Amino acid sequence: MEKELKIPLSSPDITGKEIDAVVRVLQTPHLSLGPKLREFEEAFAGYLGVEHAVAVSSGTAALHLAVKSLGIGEKDAVITTPFSFISSANCILFERALPIFVDIEPVTYNIAPERVEEFLGTECATEWGTGRVLHRKSGRQVKAILAVHVFGHPCDMERLAAIAAKYRLHIIEDACEAIGAECQGKKAGSVGEIGIFAFYPNKQMTTGEGGMLVTRDPGVALLCRSLRNQGRDAGGGWLAHRWLGYNYRLSDLNCALGIAQLSRIEEILRKRDMVARLYNSLLDGLVAVPATVPGAVRSWFVYVVALKGSPEPDREWVLKELTRRGIGCSNYFPPIHLQPFYQQSFGYRPGDFPITEGIARRTVALPLHNRLTADEVRRVVETLREVLAKSPARPEERKAVPGDWGLRRAPLQRTGGA
Ligand SMILES: *Cc1c(COP(=O)(O)O)cnc(C)c1O
C-alpha cells in the first residue's frame, strides 16, 4: 500500500545559518548571560522600534513578568479575552489578580473594544479623588487591559489605547502570535506599555523555547531583567537578591538561534503570507476564510477557517477525518473560560461568552508553514472539500446556543470569585 504523506500543521524554518549560529556559541564558554543575549535583545528592539527588549525563557514567562512588573496583584483585576491560548489569562492568576473576560469581535476574533468600554461604563465605578476604576461585583481595582492579537490579526489598538487613556489603565499586548503584524501603521506589541512575544517552534520565528518582553519604560525593563535572573540587582553580587525573582533566563544558544531567525523574518513572513493567500483564493466559498480588516496587516501564525453551511458540519468529525487522511489540523482555540480549571474555579458555564463559543466550535486550523508547497496546499484544500461533502451535521446536543452564534446580544462579561 502506498504510504500516505503527512502534512504537518506547523514546522519551523531552520536553515544552515541558524545551525552555524548555534554551533558557534557552543564553541565559546558563554552559554548563558553572554553576548548573544544582548545582541538578540538589541536586534529585537530595533525590529520593533522600541527602546527595550528583555529576552526570557518563554512567552508565558514574559506575560508573567509583564503582570508582575506593572504591580498588578491580589486586589486587582485585568480585562482580557476568553478566545486565546491559556497563558494570556493564567499570567493574571499567577499574581492572584482576577481575569475579567470580555467577549470578542466576530470578524477579527479579538477582544471587542466597544464591549470593553461598555463593561467599564456599566460594571465599574471610577472612585472620586483617586481615579481608581473599581469593578463593582468583585470590589477589585481594574488595572489593565491585556489584549491578544489572536492568530496574528492585530487588535484595534487606537481604540483600546483611547479607552485605556480615558480610564487610566495599562495595556499589555500579547503579540505572541503576531510578530510583524501592524495596526494603523504601528507594529503589534509596540503600542501598549508592554508587548509580549513567544518563540515556541510553531510560531512564526523560533528559538526552540523562548519569549520576549518589549517596553518603552526603562523602569519596567530594569525590573524584568532582574526578575528573570532570580531578582538579582544590577551591580549587586551573584548571591544578592533584591526581589522575589525567577529563573526565566534564555540561554545564548537560544538567543543565537533567535538572531538568525530574526534576520530572516521578512522572508519568513512573506512565505507564510503567500501560503495564506493561496488558501484564501482556493477556500473562499467552501468555508469562512480569515478576514483582515482595513488598516491592519496580519502576520500569519496559524491559518484558521470557520466551517459554515446548513446543516453545519460536525467539526469534531471533520478534524478526525482530516487527521486520518494525513492533514495536520487543530481546534484553535477552545474558550479559556470553559477549560475545566476555569469552570471549577470561577463557575463559568457554556453560554457565558456566546460569540467566543460560537466561533470556537466552528474553527479549524489548517497546515501553515514555510515548507508548504503550492501542491500541498491544493491537496489540503481538496481533502477538506471531500471531507466536508461527507460530514455529518453537528449533533444537536453540542449546540449550546442553537443557530444564533454571534448574533444574539452577548452578556458583557461574567466574573468569577471576587
Ligand atoms: C504561544 C502563545 C503564548 C505563550 O507562549 P509560550 O512560549 O508557549 O509560553 C502566549 N499567548 C499566546 C496568544 C500564544 O499563542
- How far apart, in whole angstroms, are the C-alpha atoms of residue 89 and residue 148? 10
Q: What is the pLDDT of residues 32-58, one digit of tens each?
A: 999 999 999 999 999 999 999 999 999
Q: What is the pLDDT of residues 384-408, one digit of tens each?
A: 999 999 999 998 754 444 444 433 3
Q: How far is the CA of 57 from the centre of ligand 1 (A)?
A: 11
What distance separates the 2 farthest-apart alpha carbons in the chain? 77
- Kindly give the residue spans of alpha helices, DSSP state H, lying in 169-314: 218-228, 252-263, 265-283
- pTM of full prediction above 0.85: yes
Ligand 1 binding pocket (C-beta < 6 A) is 58-60, 84-85, 87-88, 148, 174, 176-177, 198, 200, 211
Residue to substitute in 57, 58, 60 for testing ligand 1 pocket (most ligand atoms within 8 angstroms of CB): 60
Instruction: Give the nearest ligand 1 atom to 87 CA.
Output: 10
- How far apart, in whole angstroms, are the C-alpha atoms of residue 77 and residue 89? 11
**CA distances, 49 to each of 38, 142, 228, 337 (Å):** 16, 29, 23, 34
Q: What local confidence, expressed as pLDDT, does residue 379 receive? A: 97
- How far apart, in whole angstroms, are the C-alpha atoms of residue 198 and residue 212? 6
Q: What local confidence, expressed as pLDDT, does residue 234 receive? A: 78
Q: How far is the CA of 226 from the centre of ligand 1 (A)?
A: 22
Residue to substitute in 86, 87, 207, 302 for testing ligand 1 pocket (most ligand atoms within 8 angstroms of CB): 87
Is 34 in contact with 355 (CB distance < 8 Å)? no
Q: What is the pLDDT of residues 7-25, one digit of tens each?
A: 999 999 999 999 999 999 9
Instruction: Give the nearest ligand 1 atom to 149 CA.
Output: 13
The values of phi and psi at residue 396, to 5°, are -50, -45
